[in-house]
């Protein structure tokens, strides 16, 4: 989750600022080197997000399907390898134009410099080979996750009923993390599929998209990084606790003379909140 957040943050810091003036003027106003830089960064962060979403789906599936063996299967070393593999695969493919395979170019449809996947047949085929399988894997695993979670909930419901403790409340603690991943994946698909579909159609049909439509699709895709922050803050406990601690530190630096008793109360509230939600 931290790796995915880093990819979203990188896209917002290193790519989006260059699209502001370009979007307003309708042309690329920066040197060619900047175009190559933006193309490499946007491709790396986007592809790494896709691969990391697949890693998250695999992790959540193992935690739901094999909860007892989870820590022996998803070891720290294996998780680190999966994260590094995702970043490395995205970076290596994005470096293709620097090595003479494919090229970076300004896309008037997206108002940004990006990989021109149609400049080379093999280059374009590889990106589809890299992107389509992760989406299929994510789709299948999340369906399995919810089937398993629903079956577990039904079994627990019947057990409670046989003990005279009938309740309509289904346990959600075990599948909360899986739901978070599913929401992130669904948001990613909703954000990116319109732009990818429209871009592919415009290329194959040789039809230029309307500027307003192209602009809308582009920023719908970029907004995915913003929505991920909303998802993290509303569904992830550690993210919320970290945000509260960060606010407390900023408050102490901005107002060093504030009452230490008040700060202690805030810290205690954070601790109690952490204990009550575990």
Q: How much is the pTM?
A: 0.71
Q: Which residues contact 110 (CB under 8 A, 6 or more apart)?
A: 195, 199, 214, 217, 218
pLDDT of residue 153: 67
Distance from C-alpha of 51 to C-alpha of 245, rounded to nearest angstrom: 30
Instruction: Provide mean pLDDT across the span 133-140.
Output: 86
Residue with tokens 């803050």: 233
Residue 170 structure tokens: 């289904």
First to last CA, the chain: 18
Q: Tell me, what's the pLDDT at 186?
A: 82
Give the pLDDT confidence of 242-273 residue by residue, as tens digits.
777 777 777 777 766 554 545 555 555 555 54
What pLDDT, on the 0 to 100 scale, is given for residue 168? 45
Instruction: Report whether 65 contacts 23 (CB < 8 A).
Output: no
Q: Determine the pLDDT at residue 44.
A: 92
Neighbouring CB atoms inside 10 A of 151's CB total 10
CA pair distance 258, 265, nearest whole angstrom: 12
- pLDDT recorded at residue 89: 92
Task: Give the pLDDT confidence score for residue 271 in this predicted structure.
Answer: 55
Angle subtended by helix axes 32-65 and 121-162, to nearest 10: 30
pLDDT digits 0-9 by tens, 20-49: 778 777 778 888 888 899 889 988 998 898
Going by pLDDT thresholds of 50, 70 and 90, the confidence category of residue 78 is: very high
> Residue 83 pLDDT more than 80?
yes
Q: Classify each residue of 94-119 as buried b or exposed e, where b means 16 or more C-beta atoms within 10 Å of its C-beta.
A: bebbeeeebbbbbbbbbbbbbbbbee
The confidence band for 169, taking pLDDT boundaries of 50, 70 and 90, is very low
pLDDT tens across 114-136, in order?
A: 887 766 777 777 877 888 888 88
Residue 22 and residue 28 in contact, taking contact as beta carbons nearer than 8 Å: yes
Span 216-221, mean pLDDT?
Answer: 76
Give the pLDDT mean for 159-166: 53
The CA distance from 52 to 45, in Å, is 10
Query: Please, what is the average pLDDT of the chain?
Result: 76
The CATH architecture assigned to 2-235 reads Up-down Bundle (1.20)
């Amino acid at each position: 989750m931290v790796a995915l957040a880093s990819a979203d943050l990188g896209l917002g810091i290193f790519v989006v600022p260059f699209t502001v003036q370009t979007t307003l003027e309708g042309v690329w106003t920066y040197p060619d080197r900047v175009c190559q830089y933006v193309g490499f960064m946007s491709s790396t962060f986007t592809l790494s997000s896709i691969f990391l979403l697949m890693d998250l789906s695999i992790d959540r599936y193992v935690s739901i399907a094999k909860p007892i063996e989870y820590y022996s299967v998803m070891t720290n070393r294996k998780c680190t390898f999966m994260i590094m593999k995702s970043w490395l695969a995205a970076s290596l493919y994005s470096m293709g134009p620097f090595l003479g395979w494919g090229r970076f170019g300004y896309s008037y449809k997206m108002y940004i410099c990006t990989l021109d996947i149609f400049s080379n047949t093999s280059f374009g085929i590889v990106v589809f080979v890299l992107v389509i399988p992760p989406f299929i894997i994510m789709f299948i695993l999340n369906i399995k996750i919810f089937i398993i979670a629903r079956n577990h909930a039904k079994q627990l419901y019947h057990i409670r009923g046989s003990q005279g403790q009938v309740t309509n409340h289904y346990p959600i603690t075990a599948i909360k993390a899986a739901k978070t991943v599913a929401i992130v994946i669904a948001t990613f698909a909703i954000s990116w599929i319109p732009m990818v579909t429209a871009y592919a159609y415009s290329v194959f049909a040789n039809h230029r998209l309307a500027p307003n439509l192209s602009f809308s699709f582009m920023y719908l895709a970029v907004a995915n990084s913003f929505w991920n922050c909303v998802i993290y803050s509303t569904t992830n406990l550690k993210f919320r606790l970290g945000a509260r601690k960060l606010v407390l530190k900023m408050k102490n630096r901005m107002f060093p003379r504030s009452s230490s008793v008040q700060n202690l109360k805030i810290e205690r509230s954070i601790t109690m909140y952490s204990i009550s939600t575990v």
